Amino acid sequence: MTNIDFAKLTELASSRLDIIVLHSQKGGPGKTTLSCNIAHELAERGNKTVLVDLDIAQPTIQHIFQIPDKKIKHTINDILLGDVKANEDVILETKNPNLFLIAAKENVEYGEGLLSLLEGIQQFSFFALHEMTKLLLRMGFRYVVYDCAPGYRMESVNAAAIADARLFVIRPSTFSFEGAKQMLTDIYKKLDIRSLNFFVFNQVPPDLKEDNQKLLNAWKDDLIKLYLPEKIAFLDFLPISFEIMELGINGEYIFPEKTVLYKKLSEIVTEITTKIDEMKEIKEE
């Protein structure tokens, strides 16, 4: 069993859980980096937050938060497969008292093992994610942030389907932009039942040539037009940061408060949470 005082957690609980999902079509634009920082910022603002590693083929989050293997009793894999019912043992503590994690399983066998695992997860993940939402609500969490695998993996799409807000992360490159257009058309436009959609360009080089900046602005406008302006919002151009890369060498991924990235991230968190509040308040009226 974990040592987390769940009774206390529930006492402090709010009765609302907001689901934020980070996704991309291509790999590597910064979903994990941004998920960790968004979840960390939500927790710093006093919200009980849980960050879920939904990238089961390449788990990362337990390393970022330096969780030793022996502390991990159950993982998201067990829950998505239906092997374990969503339960409190899956929740891991971090050094931040408001921030909790759900890890993915390390050392999944490759080859057939991984393929059959993925197949099983495809079947169960929608139901399992609903069960998870119920558990997190019961436990008094205010926010859950899902860090998805890139592309059309079923559990990522299912997480997108249950999200209150989706944040689509794009690199400033033609293939990342083309991929984003494709995914917005294939999936996101079809999932627009109630969720909010946001997108952000990350890893933008400094001092872009004027023409390139113009092109990025045109891509931004194209994506908004593609989706419909009232259904998707552009958040920011986030700079590539050598400081963040250098911190990564030491295993640190949380943006230091003085950095431009932190300032921009903090504004993004405010924007997303405010928009979710507005959406839910309108619904309640």
Ligand X SMILES: Nc1ncnc2c1ncn2[C@@H]1O[C@H](COP(=O)(O)OP(=O)(O)OP(=O)(O)O)[C@@H](O)[C@H]1O
32 counts as binding Mg ion under rule CB under 5 A = yes
Alpha-carbon dihedral sign for residues 218, 224, 229, 234: negative
Percentages (nearest 5) of helix, strand, coil residues in the chain = 50, 15, 35
C-beta closer to Mg ion: residue 3 or 107:
107
Residue nearest to Mg ion (CB): 32
208 counts as binding ligand X under rule CB under 6 A = no
Among 47, 156, 197, 241, binds ligand X (CB under 6 A): 241
Bridging pattern class, strands 92-93 and 99-102: antiparallel
Binding segment for Mg ion (CB under 5 A), chosen from 24-32, 123-131, 187-195, 208-216, is 24-32
Q: Do 168 and 24 contact (CB within 8 A), yes or no?
A: yes
What's the token pair of residue 17?
A: 């859980």
Alpha-carbon dihedral sign for residues 214, 37, 190, 187: positive
150 counts as binding ligand X under rule CB under 6 A = yes
Among 9, 21, 23, 31, binds ligand X (CB under 6 A): 31
How far is 69 from 87, CA to CA, in rounded Å? 19
Q: Residue 25 binds what, of ligand X, Mg ion, none (CB under 5 to 8 Å, by partner type)?
A: none
Among 28, 113, 229, 251, binds ligand X (CB under 6 A): 28
248 counts as binding ligand X under rule CB under 6 A = yes
Give residue for tokens 């050598």: 242
Q: What is the dihedral of CA 126, 132, 137, 139, to 10 degrees?
A: 180
157 counts as binding ligand X under rule CB under 6 A = no
33 counts as binding ligand X under rule CB under 6 A = yes
> Residues 231 to 250: which contact Mg ion by CB under 5 A?
none
Shortest gap between Cβ of 10 and Mg ion (angstroms)? 31
Q: Do 183 and 59 contact (CB within 8 A), yes or no?
A: no
Binding segment for Mg ion (CB under 5 A), chosen from 29-37, 206-214, 259-267, 269-277, is 29-37
Q: What is the dihedral of CA 18, 239, 102, 138, to 10 degrees?
A: -10
How far is 55 from 153, CA to CA, in rounded Å? 9
29 counts as binding ligand X under rule CB under 6 A = yes
Annotate 192-211 with three-state secondary structure.
CCCCEEEEEEEEECCCCCHH
Shortest gap between Cβ of 66 and ligand X (angstroms)? 16
Among 203, 227, 264, 269, binds ligand X (CB under 6 A): 203
238 counts as binding ligand X under rule CB under 6 A = yes
Q: Residues binding ligand X: what is the number (CB under 6 A)? A: 20
Binding segment for ligand X (CB under 6 A), chosen from 93-101, 156-164, 185-193, 241-249, is 241-249
Among 17, 20, 25, 32, binds ligand X (CB under 6 A): 32
Residues facing residue 147 across a β-bridge: 22, 53
Instruction: Enumerate binding residues for Mg ion (CB under 5 A).
Output: 31-32
Instruction: Enumerate binding residues for ligand X (CB under 6 A).
Output: 24, 27-33, 55, 150, 169, 202-203, 238, 240-241, 244-245, 248, 261
